């Protein structure tokens, strides 16, 4: 496979390269792409140096697949040009997610929607990905009516500037601010821009993307998204109301057998998911599963996943693996 990684020098792009190497994706030729100011610079992949090229040079190299992680405006401009050249694009930005003509894919949940004709495929929002991996088997068995989710999201979701802000604050160093407020020893209930309805774009992404990925507009979902000073991954407190009743032990058994999900639920021994344990892993971890005692057919759980891996890079590479397995690329 000839593989282009667009945004190869960024936080997610670097993780893409790491995941491609770790999963032994069959890269016969790597084409790293970044902004014009980075063209000509070198990156290392599997102990070999590669030169960063421009967008047009990447198209001219005719890769089989291009994995984008370079922001929405770049994707809107360049993904169609790659697609017109017959290159399959897997895009990590929000640019194409809610486009009715583009597939929004989490392989464990809805890979079957993909066809050989899909030339621009959207990678969902990081907090949505880890949520739907857990919701899918529960929806199939109990039918979800409503989800209330509060997220506790890592600074890595903002990028290297935010990581630097956190680390500078820890050291007492003044530096560039990614956020309006200090992030260390703080929690900021504001991710992405505020919309007219009082929700942030991140919160509405979770609502809209979940319905599209699950293929069910009847699922009601409301979210509050919060940035916290962690590195290892995003955490989510999730309250789920079903149409059909459940047994807690049955839910645990079901999730423990779900691909991509790891059950960490043994409160007697203080076992529950935490970002420090999810860091640099591809799985989604779930625990604190318990019945909501305030209303029937409702449960609470706690979901954690590394937002740079399953929430971005790993999910994109898994899409590429599925396309390759089906001989779509």
Region 186-200 average pLDDT: 98
pLDDT at 242: 98
**Residue 136 sits in the same domain as residue 252:** yes
CATH number at residue 89: 3.40.50.720
Instruction: Give me the residues paired with residue 300 across strands.
Output: 239, 290
Cβ atoms of residues 135 and 240 within 8 Å: yes
Region 85-111 average pLDDT: 97
pLDDT at 29: 97
Domain hosting 140: range is 127-307
pLDDT at 106: 98
pLDDT at 48: 95
pLDDT at 236: 99
- Read off the pTM: 0.96
Q: Domain total for the chain?
A: 2
Region 18-29 average pLDDT: 97
Region 62-83 average pLDDT: 96
**Residue 147 sits in the same domain as residue 255:** yes
**Residue 320 sits in the same domain as residue 298:** no
- Measured N-to-C along each axis, helices 126-142 and 201-214 cross at an angle, to the nearest 10 degrees, of 40
Instruction: Give me the residues paired with residue 298 across strands.
Output: 241
CATH number at residue 136: 3.30.360.10
Instruction: Pick the closest to residue 107 from 302, 318, 327, 325 (CA basis).
Output: 318
Instruction: Pick the closest to residue 275 from 312, 313, 303, 316 (CA basis).
Output: 303
Round to whole Å and give the CA distance between 31 and 53. 7
**Residue 133 sits in the same domain as residue 258:** yes
**Residue 152 sits in the same domain as residue 58:** no
- CA 120 → CA 30, 55, 82, 127, 130, distances in Å? 19, 16, 9, 21, 22
**Residue 132 sits in the same domain as residue 149:** yes
**Residue 176 sits in the same domain as residue 298:** yes
**Residue 11 sits in the same domain as residue 148:** no
Question: Which tens digits make up the pLDDT trace of 137-161?
Answer: 999 999 999 999 999 999 999 999 9
**Residue 151 sits in the same domain as residue 265:** yes
Measure the CA dihedral 103/107/109/110, to 10°: 30
**Residue 170 sits in the same domain as residue 292:** yes
Cβ atoms of residues 93 and 69 within 8 Å: yes
Size (the chain), residues: 329
Instruction: Give me the residues paired with residue 144 across strands.
Output: 242
pLDDT at 329: 95
**Residue 105 sits in the same domain as residue 30:** yes
pLDDT at 183: 98
**Residue 196 sits in the same domain as residue 70:** no
- CA 33 → CA 15, 16, 28, 62, 204, distances in Å? 14, 12, 16, 13, 31
- Of 32-36, 206-210, 248-252, give the lowest mean pLDDT range: 32-36
Query: What pLDDT band is residue 283 in, cutting at 50, 70 and 90?
Result: very high
For residue 19, which phi and psi values (nearest 5 degrees)?
-70, -40
Question: Which tens digits make up the pLDDT trace of 124-137?
Answer: 999 999 999 999 99
pLDDT at 219: 98
């790993």: which residue's tokens? 314
Alpha-helix runs per DSSP H in the chain: 11-22, 55-60, 72-84, 107-110, 126-142, 160-171, 201-214, 248-256, 275-278, 314-325
Region 307-325 average pLDDT: 97
Instruction: Pick the closest to residue 193 from 175, 205, 208 (CA basis).
Output: 205
Structure tokens, 329: 């690329």
Residues acting as catalytic residues: 126, 234
């050989």: which residue's tokens? 116
pLDDT at 264: 98
Average pLDDT taken over every residue of the chain: 97
């Amino acid at each position: 496979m000839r593989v282009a990684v667009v945004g190869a020098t960024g936080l997610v792009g670097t993780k893409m390269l790491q995941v491609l190497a770790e999963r032994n994706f069959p890269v016969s030729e790597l084409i790293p792409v970044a902004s014009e100011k980075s063209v000509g610079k070198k990156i290392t992949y599997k102990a070999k140096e590669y030169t960063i090229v421009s967008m047009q040079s990447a198209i001219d190299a005719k890769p089989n697949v291009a994995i984008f992680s370079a922001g929405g405006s770049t994707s809107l401009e360049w993904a169609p040009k790659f697609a017109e050249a017959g290159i399959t694009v897997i895009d990590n930005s929000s640019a194409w997610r809610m486009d009715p003509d583009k597939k929004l894919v989490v392989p464990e949940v809805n890979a079957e929607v993909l066809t050989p004709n899909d030339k621009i495929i959207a990678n969902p929002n990081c907090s949505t990905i880890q949520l739907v991996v857990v919701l899918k088997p529960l929806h199939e068995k109990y039918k979800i009516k409503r989800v209330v989710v509060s997220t506790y999201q890592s600074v890595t979701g903002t990028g290297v500037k935010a990581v630097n802000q956190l680390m500078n604050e820890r050291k007492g160093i003044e530096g560039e601010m990614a956020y309006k407020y200090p992030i260390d020893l703080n929690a900021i209930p504001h991710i992405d821009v505020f919309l007219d309805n009082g929700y942030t774009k991140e919160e509405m992404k979770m609502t809209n993307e979940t319905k599209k990925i699950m293929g069910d507009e009847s699922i009601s979902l409301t979210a509050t998204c919060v940035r916290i000073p962690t590195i290892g991954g995003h955490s989510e407190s999730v309250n789920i109301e079903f149409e059909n009743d459940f047994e807690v032990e049955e839910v645990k058994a079901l999730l423990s057998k779900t691909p991509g999900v790891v059950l960490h639920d043994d409160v007697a021994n203080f076992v529950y998911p935490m970002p420090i344990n999810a860091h640099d892993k591809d799985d989604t971890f779930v625990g604190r599963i318990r019945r909501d005692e305030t209303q029937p057919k409702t449960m609470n759980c706690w979901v954690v996943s590394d937002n740079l891996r399953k929430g971005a890079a790993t999910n994109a590479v898994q899409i590429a693996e599925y396309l390759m397995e089906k001989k779509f690329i």
